[in-house]
A and B are shown apart, each in its own frame.
Chain A
Amino acid sequence: MAEQNISEAKKHLIFKLDNNEFGIDINKITTIIEKDMNITRVPKLPAFLKGVINLRGEIIPVVSLRSRFGLAEDAYDEDTRIIIIKLDEFSAGIIVDSVAEVIELNEETTENIANITGEHSLDYITGVGKVNERIITLLNLEKLVSLEEG
């Protein structure tokens, strides 16, 4: 049972996008890759879906968070990463500006979204974590990678 108490303080991977910090539950992340591989464009897709990549023989769709959030597409640089997440037997990659660190967030430091309104569509947000004056937006991955527009 002791383990469960610890796991309440969930580890989150923090990544940056347009100078905002976001967090993803680390248990949902398969791997992080550098954005050096070719993304194959797939026709007739909404713009935020960049296409597919080959990750060790598996074909995985890639979502651009920038265009998902309606931010300007900026050029990919050496910090750009693709975070590969796995949700119920289905994987997807999300393109982010850079990956920062892993932070533990527990319930006390996380706030429910009901109290927050923000610029990003609320649908994508599950909560907000506060660590040392930093505000970290926690994302709803299922919503993020679903095909529905905003």
Chain B
Amino acid sequence: MDMSQYLEIFIEETREHLQILNQCLLQMEKNPDDTSMLNEVFRVAHTLKGMSGTMGFTRMSRLTHDMEDVLHALRNNEIKVSPQLIDLLFKCLDALEGYNAKVIETSTEGTDDNTELITALAELLKNRDTENVQKQAESKAPAAGTGGVVSSDLVLDQYDVNIINKAADMGNNTLQITVKLNKGCVLKSARAFIVFKTLERHAEIIKSEPKVQDIEDEQFDFEFTVIVLTKSDEDLLKKDLNSIAEVDDVIIKLIKEKNKNSTLPVAEVFTAIEQSQGMDADKKDTAARNEKNETAGKKTKTGKTVRVDIDRLDVLLNLVSELIIQKTRLEGLEGIERTQQHNEAIEYLERITTNLHDAVMKVRMVPVETVFNRFPRMIRDISKELGKEVELIMSGEETELDRTVIDEIGDPLIHLLRNSCDHGIESREERKSLGKPESGRIELKAYQDGNNVVIEVGDDGQGINVEKVKKKAIDRGLISKELAVNLSKKDTIDFLFKPSFSTADHITDLSGRGVGLDVVKTKIETLGGMVEVETELGSGSRFFIRLPLTLAIIQALLVMVGDEKYAIQLSSVHKITNILPSDIKTVQNQEVVMYRNTVIPVVRLDEVLEVPRENAQEQKTLTLVIVKKGERLTGFVVDRIIGQQEIVQKSLGRFFTGIKVITSATILGDGNVALILDVNALAN
């Protein structure tokens, strides 16, 4: 069978399951006694086994199978949760992630057998055998018992007996059928379903062991037993059932008609059975029920969802964007008579498109949890590696961001977290001598703030040594000694985000900060966001990443420069004002203008953007768009203001990634393309 069409679903689901596994293992490490986590881990391993088996990924299936064995032993209290065990399970998780990565790359699982892990898992089980002989004997006996006995009789209650009696009165036979599936059967529940369907053609199923729900959830070994009422022949049923693929054996037993006489003797017949098997079955039953309750609880949480390819959402968003462009065009149409009705229709259209856009954007929103949830593991690994004790406190995981942003912020956050761990948090001894708690704290917070989402990465480490940064900047020739003296803390810290600061050799001098921070900054800025830092020497630093809620549609100010139209994001526009050419003064080769008693730099857009000009003529007044970047103001000289407009941001594609002054483009109502200016880059 061609499986390629399921590959994507497989990859996606595997990723999700591995994520759950990751979380559960972390939980287990914290609370080794939490059995609910164990059950969850078991369930995930089991599902993964089934999925990879179906796809024909035998190595993956093998590994999960062995994991399952160990987890099973854990669940039966045959072995105990130990740090080594958790480490091993984490390694298995990594191996599975490796398989999945391979599948993504090559559509095959690769050739890594991970034999070490498999032997390690087997070793664990062997240890159990030697160490807990007694315990094992206790726990295994019943297990083996139930395993073997399932084929024996079912426990019938009074209700079942009544039904059987009634059916017998109507000339039905009562059969107890045990079906054994092939051990290599991958989709057990699907097979069982076929068996049920086949049976239902001839008979009525009144009871099954395990319960139907459990069978559907694949919560059974390779056999199950049902009691059916039928008028058909025993042999016919047997023949039909044997013809189903992967059915190894069918045992059919006739339950005698003496049931007919009265209810009492039957009850007696079955009490015997109950006694033979009773206690174990009961226990198993309640265990199964508990498990079922748990999964049921889980299910209610997920609710009704549809899995949709992100590409389809992109198509939808594009269509909505087109609609908004056309709406804008309609608004701007000239030469038509504007009546009251016309205006009302346009206003109504505007409301609808805005709502539609909001709705589509909401669909694309993903909680930051999807990025955050890999961090606890990462911090765990890093802190172990560094021999530091670090506690990661996360909050606001439910804060939502656009999918495109989510996909991109992972790396910058990893960078910041690593930095905090590596250079922010001091060693255990150092912390002790400073009177800080031995265990360092890293806080990862996400929250919405107006039209932005803020992600904070804070630590209670040593903070940034501003003086050292200043010294470094002077050494590097980035600033003169005289200027450095009066440099504000904020401006100094900005040096950390300069590319030249990230070169590896001098990291230690700078208490490490600045490692690749320029990369973080660039990434965040391409996403339309900002990075800010707060730091206190000795008590820690805090990085703020401010991201726009949505990337696609923004309010913009359209301006003319020469014959070209450009868009400036409205949120960064501070004020528009007219000035005289003579207001512009030159200070240290930089054109500046006085604005509300402060000196702000002036950027002539036509020069920076290399706008071709025929017969440049001196204008009497200049239009100055003052933009705000953080706390800093910059004035852009433009030719004319067109106005405010809702525009749809379109990526320029990788072709233009090297161009610093442009972030993206938009399509105007007349079908032409206008470029959106990168205010941050231009203001520098």
A residues at B contact (CB < 8 Å): 37-38, 40-45, 51-54, 57-59, 61, 90, 92, 145, 147
Cα–Cα distance between A38 and B611 once the two chains are bound (Å): 16
Cα–Cα distance between A38 and B321 once the two chains are bound (Å): 21
The 8 Å CB contact of A54, one of B609, B655, B667, is: B667
Q: Say yes or no: is B672 at the interface (Cβ < 8 Å to chain A).
A: yes
User: Among B16-24, B69-77, B162-170, B645-653, which stretch is in contact with chain A?
Assistant: B645-653
Residues of A within 8 A of B322 (CB): 57
Main secondary structure of the interface of B (DSSP, over half): mixed
Cα–Cα distance between A48 and B671 once the two chains are bound (Å): 23
Is B673 a contact of A40 with CB atoms below 8 Å? yes
Is A90 a contact of B654 with CB atoms below 8 Å? yes
Residues of B302-321 contacting chain A, CB below 8 A: 318, 321
Q: Say yes or no: is B662 at the interface (Cβ < 8 Å to chain A).
A: yes
Cα–Cα distance between A145 and B674 once the two chains are bound (Å): 22
CB distance from A91 to the nearest CB of B (A): 8
Q: Say yes or no: is B240 at the interface (Cβ < 8 Å to chain A).
A: no
Q: Say yes or no: is B627 at the interface (Cβ < 8 Å to chain A).
A: no
Residues of A within 8 A of B611 (CB): 43
Known: A44-B661, A54-B667, A59-B665. A90 touches B653 (CB 8 A): yes
Residues of B within 8 A of A54 (CB): 667, 671-673
A-B contact pairs, 26 of them (CB 8 A): A40-B564, A40-B672, A40-B675, A42-B675, A43-B608, A43-B609, A43-B611, A43-B659, A43-B661, A43-B675, A44-B659, A51-B673, A53-B673, A54-B671, A54-B672, A57-B322, A57-B667, A58-B650, A59-B652, A59-B653, A59-B667, A61-B652, A61-B653, A90-B654, A145-B655, A147-B655
Known: A40-B672, A40-B674. A92 touches B321 (CB 8 A): no
Is B650 a contact of A59 with CB atoms below 8 Å? yes
Residues of B within 8 A of A37 (CB): 671-672
Q: Say yes or no: is B2 at the interface (Cβ < 8 Å to chain A).
A: no
The 8 Å CB contact of B662, one of A43, A53, A58, A147, is: A43
Q: A42-B656, A51-B673 are in contact. List 20 more A-B contacts (CB 8 A).
A: A37-B671, A38-B673, A40-B564, A40-B672, A41-B564, A42-B675, A43-B608, A43-B659, A43-B675, A44-B659, A44-B660, A45-B659, A54-B667, A54-B671, A57-B667, A59-B650, A59-B651, A59-B652, A61-B652, A147-B655
The 8 Å CB contact of A43, one of B610, B654, B665, is: B610
CB distance from A89 to the nearest CB of B (A): 10
Residues of A within 8 A of B318 (CB): 57
Cα–Cα distance between A37 and B673 once the two chains are bound (Å): 10
Residues of B283-342 contacting chain A, CB below 8 A: 318, 321-322, 325
Q: Say yes or no: is B658 at the interface (Cβ < 8 Å to chain A).
A: yes
CB distance from B654 to the nearest CB of A (A): 7
The 8 Å CB contact of A52, one of B325, B608, B654, B665, is: B665
Residues of A within 8 A of B672 (CB): 37-38, 40, 54
Residues of B626-674 contacting chain A, CB below 8 A: 650-656, 658-662, 665, 667, 671-674
Residues of B within 8 A of A40 (CB): 564, 665, 672-675
Is A92 a contact of B675 with CB atoms below 8 Å? no
Residues of B within 8 A of A53 (CB): 673
The 8 Å CB contact of A92, one of B655, B662, B665, is: B655
Residues of B within 8 A of A61 (CB): 652-653, 655-656
Nearest B residue to A45, CB-CB: B659
What are the interface flags for B561-583 relative to A under an 8 Å C-beta threshold, 1 for contact and 0 otherwise?
A: 00010000000000000000000
B residues at A contact (CB < 8 Å): 318, 321-322, 325, 564, 608-612, 650-656, 658-662, 665, 667, 671-675
Nearest A residue to B321, CB-CB: A57
Cα–Cα distance between A51 and B662 once the two chains are bound (Å): 13
Cα–Cα distance between A38 and B661 once the two chains are bound (Å): 21
Cα–Cα distance between A147 and B657 once the two chains are bound (Å): 11
Cα–Cα distance between A57 and B314 once the two chains are bound (Å): 13
CB distance from A45 to the nearest CB of B (A): 7
The 8 Å CB contact of B673, one of A44, A45, A52, is: A52
Cα–Cα distance between A53 and B655 once the two chains are bound (Å): 13
CB distance from A35 to the nearest CB of B (A): 15
Nearest A residue to B658, CB-CB: A147
Residues of A within 8 A of B652 (CB): 42, 52, 59, 61
Cα–Cα distance between A43 and B665 once the two chains are bound (Å): 12
Residues of B within 8 A of A57 (CB): 318, 321-322, 325, 650, 667
CB distance from B573 to the nearest CB of A (A): 20
Residues of B within 8 A of A58 (CB): 650
Cα–Cα distance between A92 and B655 once the two chains are bound (Å): 9
Cα–Cα distance between A54 and B318 once the two chains are bound (Å): 13
Known: A38-B672, A43-B610, A57-B322. A90 touches B564 (CB 8 A): no
Residues of B within 8 A of A90 (CB): 653-655
Q: Which of B651, B673, B675 has the most CB of A within 10 A?
A: B673
List 6 A-B pairs, minimum CB-CB distance, nearest first: A40-B673, A43-B609, A61-B655, A54-B667, A59-B650, A38-B672
Cα–Cα distance between A45 and B653 once the two chains are bound (Å): 14
Residues of B within 8 A of A43 (CB): 608-611, 659, 661-662, 675
Nearest B residue to A63, CB-CB: B655
Cα–Cα distance between A68 and B210 once the two chains are bound (Å): 73
CB distance from B553 to the nearest CB of A (A): 14
Is A44 a contact of B610 with CB atoms below 8 Å? yes
Cα–Cα distance between A13 and B612 once the two chains are bound (Å): 35
CB distance from A70 to the nearest CB of B (A): 21
Nearest B residue to A145, CB-CB: B655
Cα–Cα distance between A37 and B667 once the two chains are bound (Å): 13
CB distance from A58 to the nearest CB of B (A): 8
Cα–Cα distance between A57 and B564 once the two chains are bound (Å): 20
The 8 Å CB contact of B659, one of A42, A59, A92, is: A42
Residues of B within 8 A of A59 (CB): 650-653, 665, 667, 673
Nearest A residue to B325, CB-CB: A57
Cα–Cα distance between A61 and B609 once the two chains are bound (Å): 18
CB distance from A41 to the nearest CB of B (A): 7
Cα–Cα distance between A52 and B664 once the two chains are bound (Å): 11
Residues of A within 8 A of B321 (CB): 57
Cα–Cα distance between A72 and B654 once the two chains are bound (Å): 28
CB distance from A123 to the nearest CB of B (A): 18
Residues of B within 8 A of A52 (CB): 652, 665, 673
Nearest A residue to B659, CB-CB: A44
CB distance from B452 to the nearest CB of A (A): 26
CB distance from A145 to the nearest CB of B (A): 8
Nearest B residue to A49, CB-CB: B655
CB distance from A82 to the nearest CB of B (A): 14
CB distance from B462 to the nearest CB of A (A): 41
CB distance from A150 to the nearest CB of B (A): 17
Residues of B within 8 A of A145 (CB): 655
Nearest B residue to A51, CB-CB: B673
Cα–Cα distance between A41 and B612 once the two chains are bound (Å): 10
